[in-house]
């Protein structure tokens, strides 16, 4: 299926995925061939295989036109190392550094060996994701020096921002180098929220992991819960009922609607048009209340579970959902016209934080932000599984890659998701909503790959004995998109940073794990 000199086997599950175990010596050749075929790097992570008689392993997930390739490269127990691929896929840089901080596997010849996940919680030379490391181990705070790249020249100065920010935002550090108001360089330092999610997974059963997966990034709880469920179902050979898949489609699109409503409000707020904030947050609150009534949770947490969904949507409730959305839709259409006509708002949106298509492709810009820069990728369209198979999702697309383009794509996706929810709700197939999840043997694997509202969410799962987790890697599209913000803000003015940042609205928690 993939034109590479390696043997692959299919990974059982809903999405087309293939797995290959190959020599670490072939990594660069494979990465170069994949890049030449326009494949994108979805994720890079490591694992400790010493409990399974090995050393360590490096894993990379590459998205081809025909599906996902999960490549596993065994590494030695002593001095585990592999060749750096960040020159081929720039987004690999931070993932390689994270893999070192957590597992001590080393990317050779990388120009950037600075720490990433590790701040002061544990000392260098200690690797929390190694199997011998006990999760409860704690250390006296260690030294936390970090070498930001310095910009020098007449009139250049730095503005350090965060980790505690001025608004209600997640923590992270931004180091601006500026001249006057103009941004010459931005460097991000993240992982303040690292709370050991991947290590926690390894203390859990497959069933327990669902609740944790739903809390990797709260604003994408449905996407993560579905990805996790998909991985468990693949590994255990469970077939979720078709009605459950229809309901999952409804939940995922509702999550997309709620997030776009909220962000469209904030984007107006950030240009001093507070009318937009209050109007969109009124609509968002109406939707959250409806979700709370129909599903028992305003943000739909823990609704998608391995085997299906937790709660059914009877016919009269489905009709309530449809009519509630129709009301929100007609108001959002009126608000879009007001946004489009608002010269002050458009003046701030247009050409702010531009990401040209070439840069977006090189950096692997994911999700709606990628589509606003002309990247025509959407898992719901590229690999339509039920219920998307029948719905023929229309892609929101723009080419300019600025804040205005991201606003435009968000509006398009908002209305398309409303259409999808209404279609899914009207055409919900009858039947059960939950299939029992069978026992899962050790050594099985599963892939969950879902187009969340922000972009593609990946869960790569390997099982241990007694229905436990050997390794679960959760990957947020924010890994790809955070480095792009560093580029998008160059030559913009500092006061436009909050606007540009909000137009992407990336997850810190999903990146920091």
Q: Mask of contacts with other proteins, 198-217, x by CB under 8 A?
A: -xx----------xx--xxx
**Can residue 341 be called a binding residue for other proteins (CB under 8 A)?**
yes
**Residue 167 burial (CB count, 10 A):** 8
**Residue 114 burial (CB count, 10 A):** 16
Run of H or E including 28 = helix 27-36
The minimum distance between CB 121 and other proteins, in angstroms, equals: 4
Do the Cβ atoms of 510 and 218 come closer than 8 Å? no
Q: What residues does 176 pair with on adjacent strands?
A: 159, 186
Residue 49 vs 302, nearer CB to other proteins? 302
Which one of residues 197, 305, 318, 437 is an interface residue with other proteins (CB under 8 A)? 197
Residue labelled with tokens 């609704």:
303
Residue 140 vs 147, nearer CB to other proteins? 140
For the record, the structure tokens of 354 come out as 């531009």
**Can residue 120 be called a binding residue for other proteins (CB under 8 A)?**
yes
The minimum distance between CB 184 and other proteins, in angstroms, equals: 24
Identify residues 54-113 at the interface with other proteins (CB under 8 A).
none
CA–CA separation, 409 and 415 (whole Å): 10
N-to-C CA span, the chain: 33
DSSP H helical segments within 104-241, as ranges?
Answer: 197-201, 206-213, 221-236
CA–CA separation, 44 and 236 (whole Å): 24
**Can residue 494 be called a binding residue for other proteins (CB under 8 A)?**
no
Do the Cβ atoms of 2 and 69 come closer than 8 Å? yes
Residue 163 vs 429, nearer CB to other proteins? 163
Do the Cβ atoms of 367 and 360 come closer than 8 Å? no
**Can residue 168 be called a binding residue for other proteins (CB under 8 A)?**
yes
CA–CA separation, 355 and 398 (whole Å): 11
**Can residue 163 be called a binding residue for other proteins (CB under 8 A)?**
yes
**Can residue 395 be called a binding residue for other proteins (CB under 8 A)?**
no
**Can residue 479 be called a binding residue for other proteins (CB under 8 A)?**
no
Residue 167 vs 180, nearer CB to other proteins? 167
For the record, the structure tokens of 305 come out as 């579970």
**Can residue 148 be called a binding residue for other proteins (CB under 8 A)?**
no
| Stretch of residues binding other proteins (CB under 8 A), selected from 45-53, 91-99, 283-291, 355-363 | 283-291
Residue labelled with tokens 């009269």:
316
CA–CA separation, 389 and 429 (whole Å): 14
**Can residue 169 be called a binding residue for other proteins (CB under 8 A)?**
yes
**Can residue 255 be called a binding residue for other proteins (CB under 8 A)?**
no
Using alpha carbons, list the distances in angstroms from residue 195 to 67, 215, 513.
31, 11, 6
**Can residue 335 be called a binding residue for other proteins (CB under 8 A)?**
yes
**Can residue 324 be called a binding residue for other proteins (CB under 8 A)?**
no
**Can residue 167 be called a binding residue for other proteins (CB under 8 A)?**
yes
Which residues would be at the binding site for other proteins (CB under 8 A)?
A: 119-122, 128, 133, 135-139, 141, 163-164, 166-171, 191-197, 199-200, 211-212, 215-219, 221, 262, 275, 277-279, 281-282, 284-285, 288, 298-299, 301, 334-335, 337-338, 341-342, 507-509, 512
């Amino acid at each position: 299926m993939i034109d590479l000199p390696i043997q692959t086997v299919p990974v059982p599950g809903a999405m087309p995925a293939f797995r290959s175990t190959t020599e670490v010596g072939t990594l660069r050749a494979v990465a170069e061939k994949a890049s030449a075929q326009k494949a994108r790097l979805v994720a890079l992570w490591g694992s400790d295989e010493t409990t399974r008689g090995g050393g360590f392993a490096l894993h990379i997930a590459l998205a081809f036109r025909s599906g996902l390739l999960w490549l596993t490269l065994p590494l030695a127990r002593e001095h585990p190392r592999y060749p750096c691929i960040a020159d081929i896929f720039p987004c690999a840089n931070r993932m390689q550094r994270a893999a070192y901080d957590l597992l001590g596997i080393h990317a050779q010849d990388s120009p950037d060996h600075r720490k990433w996940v590790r701040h002061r919680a544990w000392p260098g030379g200690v690797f929390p994701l190694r199997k011998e490391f006990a999760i409860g181990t704690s250390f006296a705070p260690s030294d936390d020096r970090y070498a930001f790249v310095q910009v020098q020249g007449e009139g250049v100065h730095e503005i350090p921002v965060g980790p505690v920010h001025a608004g209600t935002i997640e923590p992270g550090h931004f180091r601006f180098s500026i001249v006057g108001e103009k941004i010459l360089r931005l460097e991000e330092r993240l992982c303040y929220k690292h709370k050991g999610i991947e290590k926690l997974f390894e203390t859990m059963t497959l069933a327990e992991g669902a609740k944790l997966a739903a809390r990797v990034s709260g604003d994408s709880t449905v996407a993560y819960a579905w990805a996790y469920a998909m991985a468990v179902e693949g590994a255990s050979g469970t077939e979720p009922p078709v009605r459950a898949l229809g309901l999952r489609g409804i939940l995922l699109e509702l999550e997309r609607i709620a997030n776009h409503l909220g962000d469209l409000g904030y984007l107006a707020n950030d240009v001093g048009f507070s009318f937009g904030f209050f109007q969109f947050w009124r609509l968002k609150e109406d939707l959250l209340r409806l979700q709370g009534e129909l599903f028992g949770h305003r943000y739909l947490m823990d609704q998608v579970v391995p085997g299906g969904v937790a709660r059914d949507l009877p016919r009269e409730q489905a009709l309530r959902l449809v009519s509630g959305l129709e009301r929100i839709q007609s108001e959002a259409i009126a608000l879009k016209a007001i946004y489009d006509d608002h010269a002050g708002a458009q003046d701030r949106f247009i050409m702010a934080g531009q990401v040209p298509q070439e840069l977006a492709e090189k950096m692997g810009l994911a999700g709606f932000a990628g589509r606003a820069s002309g990247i025509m990728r959407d898992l719901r369209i590229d690999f339509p599984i039920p219920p998307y198979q029948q719905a023929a999702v229309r892609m929101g697309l723009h080419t300019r890659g600025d804040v205005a383009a991201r606003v435009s794509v968000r509006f398009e996706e908002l209305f398309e998701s409303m259409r999808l929810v209404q279609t899914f709700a009207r055409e919900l197939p009858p039947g059960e909503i939950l299939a029992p999840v069978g026992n899962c043997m050790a050594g099985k694997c599963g892939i969950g790959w879902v187009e969340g509202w922000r972009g593609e969410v990946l869960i790569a799962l390997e099982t241990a004995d007694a229905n436990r987790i050997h390794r679960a890697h959760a990957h947020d599209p924010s890994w790809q998109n955070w480095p792009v913000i560093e580029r998008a803000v160059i030559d913009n003015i500092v006061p436009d940073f909050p606007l540009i940042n909000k137009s992407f609205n990336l997850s810190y928690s999903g990146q920091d794990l």
